[in-house]
Chain A
């Protein structure tokens, strides 16, 4: 068993955890982050990609809306390159109560969400595919966000400030001494090695899993995991984030992100955050709601369905709480005050849009516990490679390749990932999982879902990392299995055609089912 010493140990590599480790490192703390899987593999990497203006919450959850307003502006400054400034629309379709628009505007004014009502005809000029029956439209500063990029940038920034980020490290135990949490025992999930990490304070930033981690210190934290499903459609049905102008409900957001658009979501309380499956009824509901926003929605290709689990928290544990009614605001639990267990803080609830703020209040509490006064600077300093005012834009990858189309091998044609980018990602990540690579460079996220690029990526991975055959075969087969999980519930129309072509490629031509594993 190895041993590491640090001041602040952060558990959880989602947006909150990486935000916290960056914040702590920037305030000069020696800090370590452990994550049981890859970064952003839990709730963070499974949302719709919407950077909220706050508009969604102005009527039902004004506290959450008020948090979104400044955080939206800050993230636009510090994480410009992972944000696309799509703008957002709230539209009143024939299915929605036209009077909600007035409540909405009043709520925006009350919470500070910038809003402008525009004529429905103007909204249709901006977004011609929208339901032509919309009666009102409101502009808000919603945006879309490549959260993997944000999280990796936070991790990189943290490392530049001296932090250590340990992915694939699962916490097995919280170490305690005199009733105080003094660190954790973690296992490297790839090698099986265990490591004891001693820390002055431990931050539990595991979101929907926070109850499980707090329980390791004997603290009872009741999380209400709220399952939401999302479906990625194969291209951008809209170029602006579009919300239905009504109280938040299922299937009322359509987010254009990179080359696809994502419809979401649902909200269903579940027992186990690791067992969140999308059902046929939920899928049908999404398609039906999508049709109301964009007529012809069903004729578009659905690429993939996934579920995310919101870490909703209420201090009073009620059996019959509807998770839709629980505030999207965050909660910081000081277990010393709450449970008499010193050395442990739990940050949960909240949303990706406010992750930086959650990290800030958490590290403020860390300072208080460690008896130091060090101000937060995460809102001042842009993330590595991000430059204020230079947002991601859809044509960026194409623009960089277009002048020299054949000078480099394009490995993934859907997402324009080049051989050089793939090589760099493989080396930088040091991983043998093609799914990790997928999240890093968006390999195989387009319409063919890896039909062509995953064979190529396997060949490149095998050569570059000098892998043995079993490891390379496992990488390929694991990717195909992981992909299947997301695609099979939404296979219909042209996407089923695509899947059959992919079956022919992998099973027919390559015969991957019969390589030795």
Chain B
């Protein structure tokens, strides 16, 4: 069959676009080689946390305006601030189970697992209690058996980070010794499963209640269950009589997995389909139109027909783009032209935190998010969104999910406009 839209990639950009298209009555098929970016990082929508100079951005709205003037090649400059604002509203409305708050006026400052104060625009309910702008008293709680969180280190840095941001704060660290039945190396997935058990939650509350002080907020590593997080979060808050918040730590991201599940549900509700385990390796074309993308399965190559296609396969991290050992870059799915590859061996600079010439390599798009070649859009009916789009260094800018959402939403709009 021929779908109205075939989306390649099940990260935030691909799934957001797929949900939006399906809600508008389009038949949508999402193909992906596996789960995507959602499982790696927390589901905060970081729109713009840092300027290109590395300064914290207080208001994303103002930061975006400055960016549009300074950097017309940036993905946000393609989608426009108005589309982004609509995308954020839509996102928060369509995913009520994550309980997003925030917006473009002012960035929240969320604690990271080293105790930095990271600016972000849209915050899910389980993390909102960690907003550092208000300062106050905070207890950072570690769990013995979890090697991916160090409360003492978080607390020490956090006190300095928050004071540097101008708020008064007291931060201290607490270590819990939860019942782990003799096991020492539990991991975030193991803790998430345990927090879904009432007896484990009760044991945590019992141990923690006498330790927390009046007026203190309680920060835990982000392991509060995948399926029943609402209940886990509420019971902890009620049991302790305190605001409880999650702090994102190393992958896999438990809150990110919740987002993936929520997006899957939203896609199913809207009538879209998701197929994992499908790697797209080429296309059947007719002039400047793609008729089908071709997937490599274990035994054969399978075409998936569509009227429109969205390439949301990610950048270098996902393997969508590849730098080969002879130093050429290729798009592994459709062979789209790639822009911004620096000449010679000037790919990276000597300082790890330098702004590397290779950092912004990707697929250049027009205002309808169609990949560009030497003579305009490569295909009339192919769009690109997410980390594959050239012109940004999202890990530096704290803009990854924001760009994914803005470009995914804008690509869906472009496809809807036809």
A residues adjacent to B (C-beta < 8 A): 279-280, 287, 298-299, 302, 405-411, 419, 452, 455-456, 458-460, 462-463, 468-469, 472-473, 476, 480-481, 483-485, 488-489, 491-494, 496-497, 500-501, 503-505, 507-516
Choice from B50, B113, B147, B157 contacting A516 with Cβ under 8 Å: B157
Could you name 26 residue pairs across A and B whose Cβ atoms are closer than 8 Å? A280-B345, A298-B325, A406-B184, A407-B183, A410-B185, A419-B147, A419-B184, A458-B114, A458-B150, A469-B115, A469-B160, A472-B153, A484-B352, A491-B323, A497-B316, A501-B40, A503-B317, A504-B400, A505-B251, A508-B41, A508-B394, A508-B400, A511-B114, A514-B117, A515-B116, A515-B160
Decide yes or no whether B249 CB sits under 8 A from chain A: yes
Indicate if the CB atoms of B395 and A508 lie closer than 8 Å.
Answer: yes
List A contacts of B317 (CB < 8 A).
497, 500-501, 503-504
A459 (CB) vs chain B CBs: closest residue: B150
Choice from A463, A472, A481, A493 contacting B323 with Cβ under 8 Å: A493
Whether A504 contacts B395 in the complex (CB less than 8 A), given A298-B325, A406-B186, comes out as yes
A437 to chain B, nearest CB (A): 16
List B contacts of A483 (CB < 8 A).
352
Whether A511 contacts B352 in the complex (CB less than 8 A), given A409-B185, A462-B152, comes out as no
A contact patch SS: helix
List B contacts of A298 (CB < 8 A).
325-326
Indicate if the CB atoms of B114 and A503 lie closer than 8 Å.
Answer: no
Query: What are the 3 closest A-B residue pairs judged by CB atoms, nearest first?
Result: A459-B150, A500-B317, A484-B352
B285 to chain A, nearest CB (A): 27
Whether A504 contacts B40 in the complex (CB less than 8 A), given A298-B325, A509-B249, A516-B160, comes out as yes
List A contacts of B327 (CB < 8 A).
492
List A contacts of B150 (CB < 8 A).
456, 458-460, 462-463
Choice from A481, A503, A509 contacting B42 with Cβ under 8 Å: A509
List A contacts of B161 (CB < 8 A).
514-516
Indicate if the CB atoms of B148 and A455 lie closer than 8 Å.
Answer: yes
Indicate if the CB atoms of A463 and B153 lie closer than 8 Å.
Answer: yes
Within 8 A of A (CB), among B128-187: 145, 147-150, 152-153, 156-157, 160-161, 164, 182-186
Indicate if the CB atoms of B115 and A456 lie closer than 8 Å.
Answer: no
Decide yes or no whether B319 CB sits under 8 A from chain A: yes
List B contacts of A299 (CB < 8 A).
325
Whether A456 contacts B325 in the complex (CB less than 8 A), given A409-B184, A469-B156, comes out as no
B146 (CB) vs chain A CBs: closest residue: A409
Decide yes or no whether B287 CB sits under 8 A from chain A: no
Indicate if the CB atoms of A493 and B345 lie closer than 8 Å.
Answer: no
Whether A480 contacts B153 in the complex (CB less than 8 A), given A298-B325, A496-B316, comes out as no
Indicate if the CB atoms of B352 and A514 lie closer than 8 Å.
Answer: no
List A contacts of B398 (CB < 8 A).
508, 511
List A contacts of B183 (CB < 8 A).
406-407
Decide yes or no whether B90 CB sits under 8 A from chain A: no
Indicate if the CB atoms of B185 and A509 lie closer than 8 Å.
Answer: no
Decide yes or no whether B350 CB sits under 8 A from chain A: yes
B contact patch SS: loop
B254 to chain A, nearest CB (A): 12
A300 (CB) vs chain B CBs: closest residue: B325
List B contacts of A497 (CB < 8 A).
316-319
List A contacts of B153 (CB < 8 A).
458-459, 462-463, 469, 472
Indicate if the CB atoms of A491 and B157 lie closer than 8 Å.
Answer: no
B127 to chain A, nearest CB (A): 12
Whether A452 contacts B250 in the complex (CB less than 8 A), given A508-B41, A508-B395, comes out as yes
Indicate if the CB atoms of B184 and A407 lie closer than 8 Å.
Answer: yes
List A contacts of B395 (CB < 8 A).
500, 503-504, 507-508
A37 to chain B, nearest CB (A): 20
B132 to chain A, nearest CB (A): 12
A488 (CB) vs chain B CBs: closest residue: B348
List B contacts of A287 (CB < 8 A).
325
A418 (CB) vs chain B CBs: closest residue: B185
Other than the given A483-B352, A501-B317, A510-B114, 18 more pairs (CB < 8 A) read: A408-B184, A409-B145, A410-B185, A469-B115, A472-B156, A488-B348, A492-B323, A496-B323, A500-B317, A500-B395, A505-B250, A508-B395, A511-B118, A513-B353, A514-B56, A514-B161, A515-B116, A515-B157
Choice from A456, A485, A492, A496 contacting B147 with Cβ under 8 Å: A456
Within 8 A of A (CB), among B382-397: 394-396
State in angstroms the CA–CA spacing of A496 and B114 once bound together: 24
List B contacts of A507 (CB < 8 A).
353, 395-396
List A contacts of B156 (CB < 8 A).
462, 468-469, 472
Choice from A411, A485, A492, A509 contacting B113 with Cβ under 8 Å: A509
A458 (CB) vs chain B CBs: closest residue: B153
Decide yes or no whether B286 CB sits under 8 A from chain A: no
A411 (CB) vs chain B CBs: closest residue: B147
List B contacts of A510 (CB < 8 A).
112-114, 116
Indicate if the CB atoms of A484 and B351 lie closer than 8 Å.
Answer: yes
List B contacts of A409 (CB < 8 A).
145, 147, 184-185
B396 (CB) vs chain A CBs: closest residue: A507
Indicate if the CB atoms of B324 and A492 lie closer than 8 Å.
Answer: yes
B159 (CB) vs chain A CBs: closest residue: A469
Whether A509 contacts B248 in the complex (CB less than 8 A), given A407-B184, A462-B152, A516-B164, comes out as yes
Indicate if the CB atoms of A509 and B116 lie closer than 8 Å.
Answer: no
Give the one of B54, B114, B316 with max A CB within 10 A.
B114
List A contacts of B351 (CB < 8 A).
481, 484
Indicate if the CB atoms of B184 and A491 lie closer than 8 Å.
Answer: no
B313 to chain A, nearest CB (A): 13
A197 to chain B, nearest CB (A): 36
Whether A493 contacts B41 in the complex (CB less than 8 A), given A509-B112, A509-B113, comes out as no
List A contacts of B347 (CB < 8 A).
488, 491
B37 (CB) vs chain A CBs: closest residue: A504
State in angstroms the CA–CA spacing of A409 and B347 once bound together: 37
Choice from B145, B249, B322 contacting A493 with Cβ under 8 Å: B322
Within 8 A of A (CB), among B339-355: 344-345, 347-348, 350-353
Indicate if the CB atoms of A473 and B147 lie closer than 8 Å.
Answer: no
Decide yes or no whether B80 CB sits under 8 A from chain A: no
Give the one of B145, B156, B161, B318 with max A CB within 10 A.
B156
B115 (CB) vs chain A CBs: closest residue: A515
State in angstroms the CA–CA spacing of A493 and B322 once bound together: 6
State in angstroms the CA–CA spacing of A74 and B259 once bound together: 60
A483 (CB) vs chain B CBs: closest residue: B352
Choice from A411, A462, A491 contacting B348 with Cβ under 8 Å: A491
B214 to chain A, nearest CB (A): 27
List A contacts of B185 (CB < 8 A).
405-410
B150 (CB) vs chain A CBs: closest residue: A459
Whether A493 contacts B325 in the complex (CB less than 8 A), given A463-B153, A510-B116, A515-B116, comes out as yes
